[in-house]
Every structure is written in C-alpha cells, then in structure tokens.
C-alpha cells in the first residue's frame, strides 16, 4: 500500500515539471515557426530582388551605371518585400551578382536574416539565422518597334515619341537587339537591327524618334513587312530565343503596296502604294513604298486598268501566301475600287502579322484613340478588332484566333495620356516572357 | 481504518488531476491555435509569393490568365479554405515620376472573403473580376515604387483566420500577405 500513497503525492510536482517542459516545447515550436515565416518572406524578397535587378539592368547610359541601377533596384525590391525588423529580425541582401551570357542576363541574389529567439533563449540559443537565394534570368530578345506616323497623329506627336522613348528604356543596349520602323504611305527603317553583334544604340534611336515627322496615310502592311524583315535579317543561328514585334497605330489600314495594273502614264508599271479613303470613293497612287510620304516620280496620279489589283502581294517579289485579289477573310475583287483596296489593306495587315507569328514572332499591338472602337469601313469593322487579330491576343474575335501561333497582347489607349500605361503593360508582357 | 486514507489519497490524485486538467487545457489549446495561425500565415506568404511570381513570369495577358492562376494557387492552399474565407488580388502597378499608379487589378472570383485590396481600391469590378479604369495612386511598401514606365505586380492574399478555441476575444482575425515582383 505504501507505494500507492507515494504515487498520489507526485501529481502536482510532476505537473510542474512537465509544465516547464511544455513551455520549452511550445517555445521551440514558436521560434521555429517564426524562423520558417522569416525564411518564406526572405525567399520571396530575394526572388523579387533578382527580378528587379534583371528588369533595371537596362537603365543608365553605360554598362557600369546599368549594373549600378540593377543593384539599387534589387535593394529596393528586397526592402519592399522584407520590411526591416520583420519578426524582430535583421535582414541583409548581399550585392547581387550579374553575369552576361550570350544575350541573357543572369542575376544571382542571396540574403540572410538573423532573428532573435524568444522562449528558446532559456535553453541558451539567442539568435537564429535563415538563408535564401534565387536566380533570375533575363532572356535574349530581338525586337522591332513599328510606329505609325500618319497625319492623324500630329496633335499627339510628342506624347507618342515620349512613350516610345520611355519604352526603349526597358531594353538593354548591351544584350537586346532593336529595330525602329516608321510607316505612313510607305515604311522606312529608321534604325536597322544589328545583325552581327547584340545590343542597340539607344541615344541614336532616341534621336531618330525625336526627328520623326507625322504625315501620310496608314500602310500598316508595309510597316509589318519591314519589321518582320528586320527581325529576319539576323542570321537564323544568331537570333534571340524571344522575337517580338511591337506595332503602334491610331487607325485602320487604308493603303498597301504592290505592282498594280496601270493604264497610264507609261512607265508607272512599278511597285508602289495605292491608297483609299476609308469611306470614300477615291483611290489614288502611286507613292513610294520605302518612303514615308513621297510619290513615285512621274507617277503621282496614275490611272488604273479595270483589273488593277494583282492576285498576290508582289511589292517584294511574288508572295503566293499573301493574296490580294481573291484574298480572305474579306473578299477582294480585281477592280481598283475603294472597297477592294480597303479590304485588301486589312487582309494584308492581318496576313503579314500572321506570317510573322508563323515565324515564332510575338506580335504586340497598341491602338490609340476612340475612332478605333467605332465600326467603319467597307465591312463595318473596328480598328481595335483588327489590332487584336494582328496580335492574336486572347481577346481577339474568335474568327481570327490562331491558338497554335504565339499569342500577343493588344492594348487600347483611349487618349495620348494612356499611351504610357499601354507601353508599360506591353513592356511588362514582353518581360514576362523573358524570365 | 488503514484503508480509508489510501482511498482518500487515491481520490485526491484524481481530484488533483481533474483540477489541473482545465489549467493544462487552457495552456495547451491556445498553443494549438497559435500553431494554426502560424501555419495560416506561412501558407499566405507562400501563396502571395507564388502568385507574384506567376503574375510576373507567366505567359499570356494578365486579364486572361488571372482567374486560372488564382484557382491553382487556392488549390494548393489546404488546410486553408480559400473559397470560404480567402481572397486574392493581383495588381499591376506602373511607376510614373516616382508615383506608383495602379493600372489594372484582378480579384479572385471564387474567393469567399469580402475584403478589399490594400495596394489599390477598385471602385467597380467587371464580370471577369477585373478593374482597368485608372485607379489612381497605389499604396506600396517603402521601396516598392517602380522606375518611370516600369511595371511591378503586387499579389495579395487575405484570409479570415477562425480559431478552434476562441478562448480569448479578438482571435478571429483577418490575415494578409503581400509580395511585390
């Protein structure tokens, strides 16, 4: 019986003893929980820092300042995601390491945080360190910026230039290749893409942008042709893994180039641009397809033969994949009527974009102005739909969506003030693909 | 007479234990909820990090992909019941002369928690859970403002934490995690 008596007296002391143990166990659980939490936050912050560095490595006038801006951006992004003193800890982001590999930029970031322990401290541990590291990759990129410089943009010329110049800030003069194409009646390559090396001359590109004058009609097809040609002028083995065309326009195509059937004057049976008014009756030609606004010498006002429209786009040699008369989806006859020219110009713009996409090029489009949302032209279509079709965006009309081809994004700016956000969004979409 | 004290003492042990049990439970049960709260927070941080990563690295337009992305994230959240007590937001923020401007915001349509985003307040949601009308200035933590013309993605995960043992008032609380990529 004695043992029973002794046992019963042990309940309270035992409990007291176990309580100490319980507190210690709870303390370890709490502290390790906090450590896990700190590590999760730290991992997110290091990821963010790497990405921010990969994004900001384009800013600055020379390679050194670009590296400095990448490091500064990494520090800021880290701080935004890991508040100083989070759970009482002291974080430290080590200077991110940048390495350039072909056209890619690799950013290696790592950080640690030391956090004071709470109840575990009674067991002699006072601080605990957590570690995190991440790598961000900025992929190699070839980009053609194709800008509409038609007359209708004159009132917002400066905003267009500023938005485009800001957009260029987001691409790396060390690793990304960029071509600049402007178009109105015809298309002009303001800045050819570098075929042998990588990178681009940003100050020169900015000067070209600043010098652009706005006048003429909208020959979207020719702009797309030149943008595509620029991207393809890079040797196939040297091309970047990401190829992008950014197309800006404030209107629907009203012109296209080809060799038309010309009745007179003699000698005007050459490749040139034919324009039509959007809802008019007038069809006029010819303009040079390689100039913004310049008539073909001696052929500024030609008369066309009754079956003037060729079966195929033939401004740069016969292109059986780009039909004019008999083309689709809008039915086009051979007569040089405004309806046929209008439809052919739209068909060609879509077909050229599809042709570029078939080459693996992502097409992104920006539309400006309320007119694009109106239904007008020979088939009562909106310019916005056309631009969505060109981009093959997720919100494009079902009739023109091609799921097998690269999907782009269309952004519509209602006014010039929305150009900057639109370019920013497209930039973000392009950079999403580069990481 | 000898047996009485034994019986009494045996009973005393039981009574002692019975008296102590509530105290022990009082100590142990909040520890359970504390652990659950920690876990909840951990999951929220993980979701917001993964969401921000998907938003900034994923393929395709944000508008088209945001709902599917959030569904996937919520599916990885158990034991958190995001459909009943959670809400997710992704906000695209542009830097404009050192001011962060919210460009577009999407909320998770299947989220059950009636909450608002902290980064930017959408006044009017469209049917796709989007908000693209200019929303004005965004509220980002220190250092979060992007460069001029640059864009960042802010992903917010919110969750109403329900304690199993609401012994203390104020334990039912809304938790929040934000990651900016």
DSSP codes joined into one string, A37-82: HHHHHHHHHHHHHHHHHHHHTT-SSSHHHHHHHHHHHHHHHHHHHS
What pLDDT is stored for residue B59 in this prediction? 64
CA–CA separation, A185 and A221 (whole Å): 10
Residue A435: its pLDDT value, please?
A: 54
- State whether residue B12 sits within 8 Å of chain A by CB: yes
Which of A1, A34, A424 is nearest residue B94 as measured by Cβ atoms? A424
Number of domains in chain B: 1
pLDDT at residue B1, as a whole number? 46
Q: Does A77 touch chain B (CB under 8 A)?
A: yes
- Tell me: pLDDT of A1 over 60: no
A261 close to A304: Cβ distance less than 8 angstroms: yes
B5 touches chain A (CB under 8 A): yes
- DSSP letter (8 states) at residue B133: S
The minimum CA-CA distance between B2 and chain A, rounded to whole Å, is: 10
Distance CA(A57)–CA(A49), nearest Å, equals 12
Find the CB nearest B35 among A29, A407, A420. A29
Q: Distance, in angstroms, between A237 CA and closest chain B CA? A: 25
A336-376 confidence digits (pLDDT tens): 888 999 999 999 999 999 999 999 999 999 999 988 988 88
> H or E element: which one contains A19?
helix A11-56
Question: Is the Cβ–Cβ distance between A313 and A256 less than 8 Å?
Answer: yes
Structure tokens at A83: 């508040």
Categorize the per-residue pLDDT at A106 as very low, low, confident or very high, splitting at 50, 70 and 90: very high
Q: Which of B12, B56, B63 sits opposite A432 (nearest CB)?
A: B56
Closest chain B C-alpha to A224 CA, distance in angstroms = 22
Determine the residue of chain A that is closest to B46 in CA distance. A40
The verdict on a CB contact (< 8 Å) between A56 and B96 is no
**A2, exposed or middle or buried, with CB in 10 Å at 0-12, 13-18, 19+?**
exposed
Angstroms from B84 CA to nearest CA on chain A: 24
With b for 16 or more beta-carbon neighbours within 10 A and e for fewer, the A311-340 pattern comes to: ebbbbeeebeebbbbebeebebebbbbbbb
The DSSP letter of residue B137 is: B
Reported as a single tens digit per residue, the pLDDT across B31-77 is 788 888 889 999 999 999 999 988 887 666 788 888 999 999 999 98
Location of structure tokens 């958190």: B80
Under DSSP, is residue B111 helix (H, G, I), strand (E, B) or coil? coil
B45 with A433: Cβ contact below 8 A = no
Round the CA-based radius of gyration of chain A to a whole number and report it. 31
Distance (Å, rounded) from C-alpha A236 to C-alpha A195?
10
**Is the predicted pLDDT of residue A8 greater than 70, yes or no?**
no
- CB distance from A7 to chain B under 8 Å? yes
Predicted model pTM: 0.86
> Do A37 and B5 lie within an 8 Å CB cutoff?
no
CB contact under 8 A, A11 and B17: yes
**Nearest CB partner across the interface for B61, out of A19, A75, A429:** A429
Considering CB atoms only, which of B38, B141, B151 is closest to A428? B151
Q: How distant is the alpha carbon of residue B26 from its chain centre?
A: 26
Which of B38, B58, B150 minimises the CB distance to A170?
Answer: B150
- Indicate if the alpha-carbon torsion angle A167, A171, A173, A177 is positive or negative: negative
Binary contact (B59, A30; C-beta < 8 A) = no
Enclosing H/E stretch for B24:
helix B3-57
Exposed e or buried b per residue across A112-134, where buried means at least 16 C-beta atoms within 10 angstroms of its C-beta: bbebbbeebeeeeeeebebebeb
A residues 354..413 contacting B (CB < 8 A):
393-395, 407, 409
Q: Give me the phi and psi of A415, to 5 degrees please.
A: -145, 180
* Residue listed under structure tokens 């079966």: A311
Minimal CA separation from B4 to chain A, in Å: 11
Q: How many CA atoms lie within 13 A of A307 on its CB side?
A: 4
Token output for A367:
């539309």
- pLDDT tens digits for A40-75? 999 999 999 999 999 999 998 898 999 999 999 999
B 56-95 → A contacts, CB under 8 A: 56-64, 92, 94
Q: Which of B2, B48, B149 is nearest residue A167 as measured by Cβ atoms?
A: B149
Compute the C-alpha angle A323/A325/A330, nearest 5°: 80
- Better-predicted residue by pLDDT, A364 or B2: A364
Dump pLDDT digits (tens) for A399-417.
999 999 999 999 999 999 9
CB nearest to B49's CB, from A11, A44, A435: A44
Q: What is the dihedral of CA A267, A273, A274, A278, to 10 degrees?
A: -170
- Please provide residue A51's backbone torsions phi and psi, each rounded to the nearest 5 degrees: -65, -45
Predicted pLDDT at B21: 84
> How many other CB atoms are found less than 10 A from the CB of residue B44?
26
β-pairing, B99-107 vs B130-131, is antiparallel
Q: Do B41 and A407 touch (CB under 8 A)?
A: no
Place of tokens 């034994």: B6
Task: Say whether residue B102 is in contact with chain A using an 8 A CB cutoff.
Answer: no
Other Cβ atoms within 10 Å of A366 Cβ, number: 28
Concatenating the DSSP letter of every residue in B147-169 gives PBT-EEEEEEEEEEE--SS--ST
Exposure string (b/e) for A248-270, b if CB count within 10 Å is 16 or more?
bbbbbbbbbbbbbebeeeeebeb
CA distance B57 to chain A (A): 4
Q: What class, spelled out in words, does domain A141-258+266-433 have in CATH?
A: alpha beta
Least confident of A251-255, A264-268, A277-281, A286-290: A277-281
Closest residue in chain B to residue A412, using alpha carbons only:
B132
On whether the CB atoms of residues B165 and B30 are closer than 8 A, the answer is yes
> Tokens representing B85?
């007590």
Judged on CB neighbours under 10 Å (0-12, 13-18, 19+), A106 is middle
A137 interfaces chain B, CB cutoff of 8 Å: no
> What is the b/e burial string over B148-163, where b = at least 16 CB atoms within 10 angstroms of the residue's CB?
bbbbbbbbbbbbbbeb
Instruction: Report the Cα A67 to chain-centroid distance in Å.
Output: 22
Q: Would you say A209 and A180 are in contact if contact means Cβ atoms under 8 Å apart?
A: yes
- Quote the CA–CA distance of A131 and A39 in Å, as a whole number: 7
Contact B57 A30 (CB under 8 A): no
Q: Considering only A183-197, A215-229, A314-328, which range has the smallest mean pLDDT?
A: A314-328
Range(s) of chain A covered by CATH 3.40.50.410: 141-258+266-433
pLDDT at B151 over 70: yes
Within 8 A of B94 by CB-CB distance, chain A residues are 420-421, 424-425
Domain range for B81: 3-180
Weakest-pLDDT range from A51-55, A132-136, A385-389, B32-36: B32-36
């Amino acid at each position: 019986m004695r043992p029973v008596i002794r046992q019963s007296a042990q309940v309270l002391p035992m409990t007291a003893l176990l309580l100490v143990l319980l507190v210690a166990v709870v303390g370890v659980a709490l502290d390790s929980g906090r450590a896990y939490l700190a590590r999760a936050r730290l991992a997110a912050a290091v990821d963010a820092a790497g990405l921010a560095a990969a994004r900001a490595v384009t800013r600055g006038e020379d390679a050194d300042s670009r590296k400095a801006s990448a490091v500064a951006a990494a520090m800021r992004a880290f701080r935004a995601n890991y508040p100083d003193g989070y759970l009482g800890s002291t974080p430290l982001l080590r200077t991110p390491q940048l390495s350039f590999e072909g056209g890619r930029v690799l950013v290696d970031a790592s950080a640690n945080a030391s956090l004071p322990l709470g109840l575990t401290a009674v067991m002699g541990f006072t601080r605990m360190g957590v570690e995190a590291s991440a790598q961000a990759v900025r992929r190699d990129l070839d980009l053609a910026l194709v800008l509409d410089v038609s007359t209708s943009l004159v009132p917002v010329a400066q905003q267009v230039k500023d938005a485009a110049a800001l957009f260029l800030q987001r691409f790396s003069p060390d690793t990304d290749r960029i071509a600049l194409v402007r178009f109105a009646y015809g298309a002009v390559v303001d800045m050819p893409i570098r075929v042998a090396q990588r990178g681009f001359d940003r100050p020169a590109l900015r000067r070209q942008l600043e010098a652009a004058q706005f006048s003429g009609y909208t020959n979207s097809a020719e702009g797309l042709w030149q943008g595509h040609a620029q991207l393809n002028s890079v040797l196939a083995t040297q091309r970047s893994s990401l190829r992008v065309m950014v197309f800006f326009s404030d209107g629907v195509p009203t012109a296209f180039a080809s060799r038309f059937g010309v009745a007179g004057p003699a000698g005007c049976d050459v490749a040139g641009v034919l324009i039509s008014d959007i809802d008019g009756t007038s069809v006029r030609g010819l303009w040079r397809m390689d100039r913004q606004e310049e008539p073909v010498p001696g052929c500024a006002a030609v008369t066309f033969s009754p079956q003037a429209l060729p079966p195929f786009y033939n401004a740069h040699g016969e292109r059986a994949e780009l039909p004019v008369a008999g083309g689709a989806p809008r039915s086009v006859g051979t007569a040089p009527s405004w309806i046929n020219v209008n439809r052919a110009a739209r068909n060609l713009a879509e077909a050229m974009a599809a042709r570029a996409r078939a080459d693996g090029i992502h097409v992104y489009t920006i539309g400006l102005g309320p007119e694009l949302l109106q239904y007008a032209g020979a088939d009562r279509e909106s310019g916005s739909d056309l631009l969505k079709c060109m981009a093959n965006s997720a919100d494009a009309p079902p009739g023109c969506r091609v799921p097998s081809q690269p999907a782009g994004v269309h952004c519509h700016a209602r006014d010039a003030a929305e150009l900057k956000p639109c370019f920013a969004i497209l930039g973000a979409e392009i950079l999403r693909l580069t990481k | 007479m000898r047996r009485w004290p034994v019986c009494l003492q045996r009973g005393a042990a039981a009574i002692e234990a019975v008296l102590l049990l509530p105290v022990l439970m009082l100590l142990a049960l909040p520890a359970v909820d504390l652990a659950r709260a920690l876990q909840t927070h951990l999951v929220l941080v993980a979701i917001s990090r993964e969401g921000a990563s998907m938003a900034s690295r994923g393929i395709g337009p944000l508008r088209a992909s945001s709902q599917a992305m959030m569904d996937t994230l919520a599916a990885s959240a158990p034991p958190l019941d995001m459909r009943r007590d959670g809400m997710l937001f992704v906000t695209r923020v542009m830097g404009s002369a050192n001011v962060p401007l919210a460009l577009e915001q999407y909320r998770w349509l299947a989220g059950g928690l009636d909450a608002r985003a902290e980064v930017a307040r959408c006044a009017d949601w469209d049917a796709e859970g989007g908000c693209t009308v200019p929303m004005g200035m965004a509220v980002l933590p220190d250092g979060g403002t992007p460069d001029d013309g640059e864009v960042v993605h802010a992903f917010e995960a919110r969750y109403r934490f329900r304690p199993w043992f609401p012994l203390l008032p104020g334990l039912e609380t809304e938790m929040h995690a934000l990651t900016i990529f």
